Structure 1
Amino acid sequence: MPHTSVIISIYNQPKALAMSLAGYRRQSDTDFELIVADDGSDDEVRRLVDGFRAEAPFPVRHVWQENRGYRRAKIANTAVRESVGRLILLSDGDCIPHRDFVRVHRAAHRPNGFSVGGYVRIGLEESRALTPEAVARGEHERHLTPAIRRAHRWKHLHNLFYILIGKRDRPKAYGANIGVDRETYYAVNGYDENFDGFGKEDSDLRNRLRAYGAVAVSVWGKAFVFHLDHGLDDKRPSGPGRIRGDNPYYYRSHVPARCENGLVKTPPGLP
């Protein structure tokens, strides 16, 4: 049974996903399964995953739900229910992992804990110039410059301070770079599926993990993903429920550690 379950959320970005998958083939720690959590893509993504599965040195699965707008929280929970790893590692299909991405999160894994890292942004022209073959050679990692490393270390120090003083909305949560202990993810009932539409579901998960008392670990400066420009794929998410915007649900007055509409559906009035 693999130690880690990597959950990659995707919607109709096959070019980006091909490079993301190539990044997982070169991981220094291969004791993981990979589940593509598909929020309603067409068959091109399924065919890509099927082809990758035939060659990957680790288990690969594809879970899919009907396209009814942005429902990343729901499909991520579905993927987690089908996973087996003790560590749930959440990422996105438009992000290429650093070679040590899985290894760093695994080293940070602890009972009742979660780890959060950052990202390196790759511009549109640089994203277009990359290929899965180039990723296999590690060429994307040249974007991790000394200046960016210093900036990430500085953010890491900020996170350590905010964790120390108990600030609820830190460490800064980036949804493509979060590791959560499996039992702890279940304790807070996973992602809140009331986030139906783009925005804030990752921050909400972080806030509820902190409210539950989970131990926060910053891996900024250690665990990196490389975020490809959204213009890379012509089939970029669009349409109702797929537009970026602030989510008023995030700012509700009372946020319990365990959400009602998550991995397990809690009927109203029950604890």
Structure 2
Amino acid sequence: MKLSVIITTYNAEEWLHKVLVGYSVQTIDDFEIVIADDGSTDKTKAVLALFSNKFKYPIVHVWHEDKGFRKSEILNKAILKTNSDYLLFTDGDCIPRKDFVSIHLKNKEVNYFLSGGYFKLPMDVSKAITDNDIETQNCFNVSWLKKQGLNLNFKATKLTHNRYFAAFMNWLTPTKRTFNGHNTSCFKKDILAVNGFNEDMQYGGLDREVGERMFNNDLFSKQIRYSAICIHLDHSRGYYSQEGWNKNLAIRAFNKKNGVVKIKNGIEKLP
């Protein structure tokens, strides 16, 4: 297979259902879905069962017990369960446009990771999206979103279907080419080389930190913010804590200053 899509989730069955509909209508099918499940109930298994025959390859469900926010750990476990040499990381609240996987494959390049973005929706519009709206791609249509009551601004340009305009905006945007957990792809060997995600980190920049260590390992990044489009469904963030955020910032600052490539508490537990 050409690619493994790693989707993180935690007790968000309604959103995960919509996301999987998005992957079921991709323009290519030579990829697998790997669910990195941070301790969800059996309701998530029920959703996955609905999609068991919708993909070319079986869905891989990687689960561990709910012991609080352990996203880095479940991502590392998911990476080891993938069956391809190229990985696309995203979240269970991000519906992909039908060309999402193909854009990542088209732009992949040795010694690079790809940095994508998202278009964020409010809760009422997130709820309004039906399976049919995803299958017909209405939910990526600016006119349709406006009819749902969305107040549009410049950020709606991310929904462009013009690849030349998208390429120009990728070049123009001041947004940094970071490793984004909702929309990033890389070669598996490159994330293994930095020992995966840092399990000392909880919510707040844990994805960016991986990219920063990749930079320390002489990798580059490529901007596809306006080309690989996904829409972000709204949700609360009950796992946020300022203390945890400050700890993560300190880890990132240390790793940048010291050129850290491999962290100790990652895929491998180093001495």
Shorter-chain TM-score tier:
0.7 to 0.9
1:24 corresponding residue in structure 2: 23
Q: Distance in 2 between matches of 1:114 and 1:30?
A: 22
1:264 corresponding residue in structure 2: 268
Task: Name the % identity.
Answer: 29
For residues 46 and 179 of structure 1, do their structure 2 counterparts lie closer, same or farther at Cα, with a shift above 3 Å needed? Answer: same
Match of 1:176 among 179, 182, 185: 182
1:192 corresponding residue in structure 2: 198
Q: Distance in 1 between matches of 2:189 and 2:111?
A: 7
Q: Specify the SS of the correspondent of 2:240.
A: coil
Q: Alignment RMSD, CA only?
A: 2.2
Q: Distance in 2 between matches of 1:132 and 1:11?
A: 21
Q: Specify the SS of the correspondent of 2:66.
A: coil
Question: Which runs of 5 or more structure 1 residues have no equivalent in the other structure?
Answer: 163-169, 232-236
1:254 corresponding residue in structure 2: 254
Q: Distance in 2 between matches of 1:151 and 1:141?
A: 10
Contact 1:35–1:61, Cα closer than 8 Å, also in 2:
yes
- Tell me by how many angstroms 1:158 deviates: 5.0
For residues 193 and 157 of structure 1, do their structure 2 counterparts lie closer, same or farther at Cα, with a shift above 3 Å needed? Answer: same
TM-score (normalizing by structure 1):
0.85
Question: Which runs of 5 or more structure 2 residues have no equivalent in the other structure?
Answer: 146-151, 160-165
Q: Specify the SS of the correspondent of 1:180.
A: strand
Q: Distance in 1 between matches of 2:171 and 2:6?
A: 27
- Tell me by how many angstroms 1:227 deviates: 0.2
- Asked whether 1:148 is paired with 2:155, we answer yes
Contact 1:91–1:176, Cα closer than 8 Å, also in 2:
yes
2:155 counterpart letter in structure 1: I
1:192 counterpart letter in structure 2: N
Contact 2:195–2:262, Cα closer than 8 Å, also in 1:
yes
2:225 corresponding residue in structure 1: 220
Task: Encode CA deviations 1:9-36: one digit per residue, 9 max, x unaligned.
Answer: 0000000000000000111121110011
Q: Distance in 2 between matches of 1:118 and 1:3?
A: 22
Q: Distance in 2 between matches of 1:247 and 1:101?
A: 33
For residues 146 and 29 of structure 1, do their structure 2 counterparts lie closer, same or farther at Cα, with a shift above 3 Å needed? Answer: farther
Q: Distance in 1 between matches of 2:197 and 2:185?
A: 13
Q: Distance in 2 between matches of 1:225 and 1:219?
A: 11
1:85 corresponding residue in structure 2: 84
1:177 counterpart letter in structure 2: N
Q: Distance in 1 between matches of 2:111 and 2:220?
A: 6
Q: Distance in 2 between matches of 1:106 and 1:217?
A: 13
- Asked whether 1:243 is paired with 2:261, we answer no
Contact 1:7–1:37, Cα closer than 8 Å, also in 2:
yes
- Tell me by how many angstroms 1:135 deviates: 1.2
2:162 corresponding residue in structure 1: none
Q: Distance in 1 between matches of 2:109 and 2:33?
A: 20
Q: Distance in 2 between matches of 1:85 and 1:215?
A: 21
- Tell me by how many angstroms 1:190 deviates: 1.0
